[in-house]
Amino acid sequence: MKKTTLLFTALLVAAPFLSQAATQQEIDLALAPVKTNADLQQLLNSASPLDALEQHVFQFVSSVKFSKKGQQISFDKELLESNLSATEIYKILVLFGQQSSISQYQNALIVTDTDKLLLTGSSLPFCNAADPIETSVTLDKNKQAIFGYAQSGVVCDGNVELTENTTITYVLVPGKKSPKGLRLVGAGFTNPFDGHIEKVTVSSDGQSIQLENNIENSGVSKYQFILESEENDLLLVSPDPQVVNKDNKPPM
Amino acid sequence: MNATNLIQGPVIEVMITLDANQEPKVTYLQDGEVCTGNVVVTCGEDITYRLVNSAGYAFMGAGFLTPYDNIIDAVQVSADGQELVLVDEDNVAGTTKFQLIFTNTTNSLLLLSPDPQVINKDIDPPKY
């Protein structure tokens, strides 16, 4: 009985956001400049975001498949992800009204702050501190490390929001493109004295790290993971996840 | 700390203070003047960061967002943690951002500096 109530409440809370997202996708699709093969051919006659694909442009164009009603357009996503920055991909997705799917391109090149924002911005949900956060580190073609966070296969932004004292666990998930012999060394803080996080513990094998918060100190604490690898002797730092200690005021 | 065969490059003094909100502030000084902490390198050299007037702090190392770009070749920390050397053979042109990592005696957490950067300038040899 309790589970049903909780689920129902969660859906009620999520419903407006899901509805907003669906509406935005419909607007994006309705205003997309390319809905048919004829639109695409016309686009090729002048400068367009597709030019970023350079020698791969015709390979990409030949991968584009239109449904009869023009509602579903598919294409080679891997070709975009392995050759372009997040911003370049976003501009191409706009052509097809699919810009809301940019978070699916986590292996895209990150060159600018806009690229980073597109891939790690507010579109991703918080991670749930109650469960371990799977942390992946992959090297792109420029050997730049890209951090990704997920729980049970669902991508989250690496940040957590807490309302009670909690032990947050991040676990490294090795992949084919991960730096060789990657190990966590610790976490660093731009302000280690704010009391938001009080203790950091790294497992002996360097594959997981735990952070313990103190909910009495409300506020936001940003931290960065510090890692070593067998690629070279330098330390890798992650971009900053954050902990938000929510100030739960008692009811008046 | 291992000596390298490179020439001694800039020596940058690093001072850590706490502001009115007890937030750490990292200041860089060169020849007594406040600077950004950034360095432009045109030939292989050792870049030295030295802690001054920062009791209770010690260098733990330096962390890089792009440690595999080969711009910095090695990092060395002195036994007392008061000096950190970036070994830059200047083999690769480009800019790398890094953060200095400090231990402190107040608690067990690590302090990270905002990111200074090293710029390896690609100097073309003169044409004859």
Average pLDDT over residues B43-51: 92
CB contact under 8 A, B67 and A226: no
Query: How many domains does one find in chain B?
Result: 1
Average pLDDT over residues A164-178: 94
Nearest to A192 among B66, B75, B111 (CB): B111
Mean pLDDT check: name the lowest of A118-122, A192-196, B101-105: A118-122
Residue B125 lies in a domain: no
Residue A98 pLDDT > 50, yes or no? Answer: yes
Average pLDDT over residues A95-112: 84
Residue B39 lies in a domain: yes
For A15-72, write each residue's pLDDT tens digit.
444 445 556 778 888 889 999 999 999 999 989 999 999 999 999 999 999 877 656 7
Confidence category of residue B115, pLDDT binned at 50, 70, 90: confident
Interface of A with B in 123-152 (CB under 8 A): 139, 142-145
Distance from CA of B100 to the nearest CA of A (A): 10
Contact A145, A179 (CB under 8 A): yes
CB contact under 8 A, A232 and B67: yes
Residue B103 lies in a domain: yes
Contact B109, A225 (CB under 8 A): no
Residue A181 pLDDT > 90, yes or no? Answer: yes
Looking only at the bridges linking them, the beta strands covering A133-139 and A167-172 are: parallel
Nearest to A139 among B22, B68, B104 (CB): B68
Report the predicted TM-score, pTM, of the whole model to 2 decimal places. Answer: 0.68
pLDDT at A12: 37
pLDDT at A22: 57
Domain residues for B81? 7-120
Q: Which residues of B touch A225 (CB under 8 A)?
A: none
CB contact under 8 A, A188 and B24: no
Residue B17 pLDDT > 90, yes or no? Answer: yes
Average pLDDT over residues A133-146: 89
Distance from CA of B125 to the nearest CA of A (A): 26
Residue B15 pLDDT > 80, yes or no? Answer: yes
Tell the residue number behind the tokens 């690769």, with chain if given: B92
What is chain A's alpha carbon radius of gyration, rounded to the nearest angstrom? 21
Q: Which residue of A has its CA nearest to B101?
A: A188
Average pLDDT over residues A179-194: 95
- Assess if CATH 3.30.1330.60 describes domain A124-245: no
Average pLDDT over residues A92-105: 89
- Domain with residue B21: its CATH number is 2.60.40.420
pLDDT at A245: 74
pLDDT at B9: 87
pLDDT at A252: 47
CB contact under 8 A, A237 and B64: yes
Element (H, E) at B15: strand B7-18
Residue B54 lies in a domain: yes
Q: Where in chain A is the domain with CATH 2.60.40.420?
A: 124-245
Looking only at the bridges linking them, the beta strands covering B94-104 and B57-64 are: antiparallel
Tell the residue number behind the tokens 């920055």, with chain if given: A85
